[in-house]
Structure 1
Amino acid sequence: MKRLCILNVVGLTPEWLPHSPHLAAVGKAQAWASPVPAVTCTSQATMLTGTMPREHGIVGNGWLYPDTQEVRFWQQARTLIQGDIFYDRYETAKMFWWFNQASTAKYGATPKPHYGCDGSKAFDVLDWTGCELTRHLGPFPFFAFWGPAAGIASSDWIADATALVMRRVQPQLTMAYLPHLDYDFQRFPVQSAERVAEVDAAAGRVIEAAGEIDAQVVVVSEYGLTSVDQPVHLNRVLRQSGHLKVRQGPFGEMLLPTDCDAFVVADHQVAHVYVRDPKQIDVVAKLLGETPGVAAVVRPRELGLDHPRSGQLIALSEADAWFTYYYWLDDALAPDFARTVDIHRKPGYDPCELFMTSKLRAGGRLLQKKLGMRYKMDVIPLDATLVRGSHGLLADQPERGPLVIGPGHPPEMMTDFPDYVHSLL
């Protein structure tokens, strides 16, 4: 039986291969074309199905759910992907790739906290590998997976867990997700070769385990990150023009999608614009298109995004800009979740969650927790100018975009990836 290991190294681009000896040695490197938006969920769904978002339905990391009129980000159910997925054909171990709940993978692990009725949260992972990962490796370092402390520890744990699973159960297909480069490449204006060397070392341990079970290795990435210095607040533009509505309350202003004539679900450098009245689409397009930092406002079909989950318009940023979800006009009226790491409640992606206002404040909040007091970890800044890297647009140069590395002839398009996998297995 042939075996294969697919390593998803987020943010790896051809220009970083000289600093990635383990990854570069895997095989031929090929720059390849991602969908728009070039973000985690959409890119992964395209790789998994070989189809565009108009078919698989994953139009971003989050979108408006039209039946409930709720904006939801970072949903994990495999059932959200419409269409066939290539790993369904094989005995698969799926390690931290997205859409890993209700998965058909025989083995796998994915982040999944426990939530108490009092609002408390206990961090944990779902583990159906049969390998007792936390017993052997210790608790998954959740605070290194996302938030101000995000770093190499989470990718190290995933790499070690993947190597352990490969050696013990020897699946036909192994899929591992290493997110390390996503963090500092968004935090800082200069991308560091040191971070690349760190994730290469983690990948090296997976590659070593693959060799022990005679599995070929393929490396993929979802996008490259680009330097930015211009946050664009599209929802504030819509609010100031009277299109966006909020509800004031004890926990700050809350967006009311059901009452908005138009609002934006921002996702890095791409935004879905939901417009209630079709007669207002051209008006909203003109308004947002004239906003500094916006490169274009187009109809979804122009990008292969014509799916019922998409907005009526898609906004694309300039290369050095990105879109915030911010809709309040006064920081004193921001919703209470804005200053916390809360990836599911925010109606848009928030890279400011990678920063912290004060370690002293965070320490005080942790002390409140230990004393059994009610607390909120409100340590996330509202200064969007802190963010210095983003993605979502197609790469302007192949060496700065996503890649695939593997034997034979790796594909030039993410839509061709399932056929490539089948050819290797």
Structure 2
Amino acid sequence: MTRPTGSDGPTPLLVLDVVGLTPRLLDHMPHLKQLGQSGSRAPLGTVLPAVTCAAQSTFLTGTTPSEHGIVGNGWYFRELGDVLLWRQHNGLVAGDKLWDAARRAHPGYTVANICWWYAMGADTDFTVTPRPVYYADGRKEPDCYTRPPALHDELTDKLGTFPLFHFWGPGADLVSSQWIIDATRHIMATRHPDLTLCYLPHLDYDLQRFGPDDPRSLKAAADLDAALAPLLD
């Protein structure tokens, strides 16, 4: 994607974190494969452990888990004497983020984070992250946190409540990734951020359930590619 001719500033960038994606699965994802073939490509490695939170933090900081501190999707917190999973505050990620460098070069550089992890407390301009409502009687209601706060009702009115129970766990399916894709399209069209981060979890669960070569996993890849087509266009 590029800025209109004659405008100043950096070229807008969309980064998709398609969890579970492999080169072989791209054969079942023609829209995404075409995008990958349209530009130069370099081998993309991973980190150890190769899990969502550690990999995303390495991408955003350019450092290893031993440096940024995100050594898994959860770990033992010595000062608390407890194992905590899926914490959400960006204060846990040590070091500069890539947008810090971008802002030094381009003051006013804007960033949208749509469901990349450790979004709470990050100095991004637009944020959407899963955040359920907990009631005194133990009930948990699907919802999300946004910044600015008004974005919450704007997205809910347009797309419905964030489908938390389709985002992780046994009910995880395409519904959550579709909501995230639609939210990403809306934010890009209305806010025009310089950098947009979009986390799509759909493949992760079916690949874990069935394995990477199962027909159901291949269908999940094709379904996600079809959902992505309007965003890639």
Which of the five TM-score ranges fits, normalised by the shorter chain? Answer: 0.7 to 0.9
Equivalent residue in structure 2 for 1:149, among 171, 189, 192: 171
- Other-structure match for 2:131: 112
- Other-structure match for 1:54: 66
- Other-structure match for 2:185: 163
- Other-structure match for 1:221: none
Cα distance, 1:200 vs structure 2 = 1.2
Deviations along 1:104-142, one digit per CA (max 9) or x if unpaired, are 110010000111223222210012255411110011111
Q: Does the 8 Å CA contact 1:41/1:60 hold for their aligned counterparts?
A: yes
1:96 and 2:105 correspond: no
User: Which amino acid in 2 is paired with 1:193?
Assistant: L
Cα distance, 1:202 vs structure 2 = 2.2
CA–CA separation in structure 2 for the residues paired with 1:86 and 1:122: 33
1:75 and 2:57 correspond: no
1:186 and 2:208 correspond: yes
Equivalent residue in structure 2 for 1:87, among 95, 99, 104: 99
Q: Does the 8 Å CA contact 1:127/1:133 hold for their aligned counterparts?
A: no
Task: State how many pairs are aligned.
Answer: 208
Q: What are the equivalent positions in structure 2 for 1:351-370 lying under 5 Å apart?
A: none
Give the 3-state SS of the residue equivalent to 1:31 in structure 2. Answer: coil
CA–CA separation in structure 1 for the residues paired with 2:74 and 2:171: 23
Q: Does the 8 Å CA contact 1:7/1:203 hold for their aligned counterparts?
A: no
1:200 and 2:228 correspond: no
User: Which amino acid in 1 is paired with 2:121?
Assistant: A
CA–CA separation in structure 2 for the residues paired with 1:186 and 1:32: 21
User: Which amino acid in 1 is paired with 2:91?
Assistant: T
User: Which amino acid in 1 is paired with 2:32?
Assistant: L
Give the 3-state SS of the residue equivalent to 1:14 in structure 2. Answer: coil
User: Which amino acid in 2 is paired with 1:105?
Assistant: T
Which runs of 5 or more residues in structure 2 are unaligned?
1-8, 104-108
Q: Does the 8 Å CA contact 1:160/1:205 hold for their aligned counterparts?
A: no
Which piece of structure 1 moves more, 11-20 or 65-74? Answer: 11-20
Percent of matched pairs sharing the same residue: 46
Q: What are the equivalent positions in structure 2 for 1:275-314 lying under 5 Å apart?
A: none
Cα distance, 1:188 vs structure 2 = 1.1
Q: Does the 8 Å CA contact 1:14/1:29 hold for their aligned counterparts?
A: no
User: Which amino acid in 1 is paired with 2:177?
Assistant: S
Structure 1 residues 31 and 16: CA distance shift in structure 2, 3 A: farther
CA–CA separation in structure 2 for the residues paired with 1:108 and 1:46: 19
More helix by share: 2
CA–CA separation in structure 1 for the residues paired with 2:146 and 2:76: 30
Q: Does the 8 Å CA contact 1:115/1:122 hold for their aligned counterparts?
A: yes
Normalised TM-score (structure 2): 0.85
Cα distance, 1:148 vs structure 2 = 1.7
Flag the structure with more relative contact order, 1 or 2, with Cα contacts below 8 A and sequence separation at least 6.
1
Equivalent residue in structure 1 for 2:12, among 3, 8, 11: 3
CA–CA separation in structure 2 for the residues paired with 1:124 and 1:97: 16
Deviations along 1:158-207, one digit per CA (max 9) or x if unpaired, are 00010011001111111100111001111114433211111112222222
CA–CA separation in structure 1 for the residues paired with 2:17 and 2:230: 14
CA–CA separation in structure 2 for the residues paired with 1:182 and 1:112: 20
Give the 3-state SS of the residue equivalent to 2:176 in structure 1. Answer: helix
CA–CA separation in structure 2 for the residues paired with 1:29 and 1:201: 23
What value does the CA root-mean-square deviation take over the aligned residues? 1.4
Cα distance, 1:30 vs structure 2 = 3.6
CA–CA separation in structure 1 for the residues paired with 2:164 and 2:40: 34
CA–CA separation in structure 2 for the residues paired with 1:39 and 1:5: 21
Q: Does the 8 Å CA contact 2:113/2:128 hold for their aligned counterparts?
A: yes
Which piece of structure 1 moves more, 182-191 or 65-74? Answer: 182-191
